Amino acid sequence: MTFEALGLNTSILKALTDAGYTKPTPVQEQAVPAAIAGKDLLVSSQTGSGKTAAFMLPSLHRLAAIEPAPAGKTPNQEMQAARSRGERPRFKPAQPKMLVLTPTRELALQVTTNTDKYSVNLRRIKAVSILGGMPYPKQMQLLAKNPEILVATPGRLIDHMESGKIDFSQLQILVLDEADRMLDMGFIDDIEKIVAATPDGRQTMLFSATLDGVVGNMARRITKEPQIIQIMTAANKHENITQRVHFVDDLSHKNRLLDHLLRDDTMDQAVVFTATKRDADTIADRLNIAGFSAAALHGDMHQGARNRTLESLRRGQVKVLVATDVAARGIDVPSITHVFNYDLPKFPEDYVHRIGRTGRAGRNGLAISLVNHAEGMNVKRIERFTKQMIPVNVVEGYEPKKTGSAPRSSRPGGWKPGDNRGGAKPGQRSFSKPGNGAPRRDGVSGSAEGYKGPGFKANNPYNSDRPRRSYGDR
């Protein structure tokens, strides 16, 4: 199928051609015609499947068909005219026709960037992002333009709604992107309040990794006779992403192994995921000292700094991005070939979205998890969620001293049902239990030996065993 067959506006088709788009993805093939027809949508699709275009292309098509309002002064012009008369300008609330809610700033900016790309030939349509970390005067300037499309994170949007800066009376299209993630982050009350402020006759499109549980209940409340589209759920296999587990004895072992793996000649760019903001900063600093071009990305950074870091990543100036789960969604950089879980995520769903930062748009990728022996059950939870086993690999010269992680590692392809090695029962794996010199749950061994093997450098920051913080301030 071609984009022409979807019935899109010719100006949008030209923009797609100029941007190098050749044919729609499966989610676009199903969602675009249904959205053009005005139906509410509930869509579950794999990350990187082209869902932004799936809701934005038909929305732009619809907005382009709306007759332009009678010529008049824009809110900015009215405010300037009031100032010229010596009057105090009154801010006129923005009245967007489309609202896109996203869980993170990065995803909001990505949606806005893609929207600008798709609408480059539609002169009357403006899209802006309103999100936390952006200077308040800048947000007021953007809202004063009365944009047709507003992309926002829920918390900051609520602030402007309560101060009377946004009026949703003219809203026609509401999109909830990564709805499951927004609920995970505790935005359900904000979402309910925002939805209640929108007209009943709006078109609603909800995109989520899963349509079950709380997400499904909310979806039923805010949509009317929706068409359900399920391309791939979050638990489906990433067939183009090779997944591996490397067991580590302690923090020093983990750092040395990460250093070795990051020197892979096949790696273009990588994302290293950590559990805490402090670890993201610390590891990025260590990598830079070790000779890598690295940068940190987490929620404590100002939005300007986050934008500059992501732009450096896209330009290839940063080779290794060290990030918390704030970056698990919303980063679409095709040249990311490797993802490393320095710390396993708290939820299996986040594992799927983390590894989805590589293998974008059908490309191949590699996802490696550095796992302490005591975290074996966390690996099992991920495997149950994804319904696939993750092979255990061992790098020569970096083998773990503990033997409890061996049952799946010695055979190519990983564990097979019925294996009974290392004392494990058939169909099970055996892991060393805490105690008897085994590492604590924070990944610090009580009796780690300093590494003196090949590649040892006296000043290498990876030859250290100082404790790290465990899960906490994401």
Instruction: Give the CA-trace dihedral at 355, 357, 363, 365, to 10 degrees.
Output: -40
CB within 8 Å of 229: residues ≥ 6 apart: 27, 30, 31, 34, 41, 42, 43, 44, 45
| Digit-coded pLDDT (tens) for 31-50 | 999 999 999 999 987 666 78
Residue 215 has pLDDT above 70, yes or no: yes
Tokens of 418: 């019925």
pTM, to two decimals: 0.63
Length of the chain, in residues: 474
Sequence spans of domains, the chain: 4-68+76-230, 236-474
The tokens of 71 are what? 């010529």
Place 467 in a pLDDT band, splitting at 50, 70 and 90: very low
Closest to 366 (Cα-Cα) out of 211, 285, 261: 261
pLDDT class for 124, splitting at 50, 70, 90?
A: confident
Mean pLDDT estimate for the chain? 80
pLDDT of residue 53: 93
Residue 450 has pLDDT above 60, yes or no: no
Confidence band, pLDDT 50/70/90 cuts, at residue 410: very low
Asked if the domains 4-68+76-230 and 236-474 are classified in one and the same CATH topology, the answer is yes
Contact 188, 208 (CB under 8 A): no
CA distance 412 to 325: 31
* Contact (CB, 8 A) for 389 and 415: yes
Share of the chain above pLDDT 70, in %: 76
- Render pLDDT for 219-236 as a digit per residue (tens, 0 to 9): 889 999 999 998 865 445
Instruction: Categorize the per-residue pLDDT at 402 as very low, low, confident or very high, splitting at 50, 70 and 90.
Output: confident
Higher per-residue confidence, 434 vs 204? 204
According to the model, what pLDDT value does residue 300 have? Answer: 82
Q: Which fold has domain 4-68+76-230?
A: Rossmann fold (3.40.50)
pLDDT > 90 fraction of the chain, expressed in percent and rounded: 47
How far, in Å, CA of 13 to CA of 6, rounded?
10
Q: Among the listed ranges 20-24, 372-376, 382-386, 415-419, which one has the minimum average pLDDT value?
A: 415-419
Q: Which long-range contacts (CB under 8 A, 24 or more apart) does 304-313 make?
A: 304/133, 306/105, 306/106, 306/133, 307/109, 310/106, 310/109, 313/269
Q: How far is CA 404 from CA 144, 246, 414, 432, in A?
A: 62, 13, 15, 5
Per-residue confidence at 401, pLDDT binned at 50, 70, 90?
Answer: confident
Q: Is the pLDDT of residue 238 over 60?
A: yes
Residues 6 or more apart in contact with residue 236 via CB below 8 angstroms: 46, 386
| Chain mean position to CA 276 | 16
Residue 425 has pLDDT above 80, yes or no: no
Q: Which of 81-85, 339-343, 448-452 bottoms out in mean pLDDT, i.e. has the lowest?
A: 448-452
CATH of domain 236-474: 3.40.50.300
- What confidence tier does 307 reach under pLDDT thresholds 50, 70, 90? confident
Judge whether residue 244 has pLDDT over 70: yes
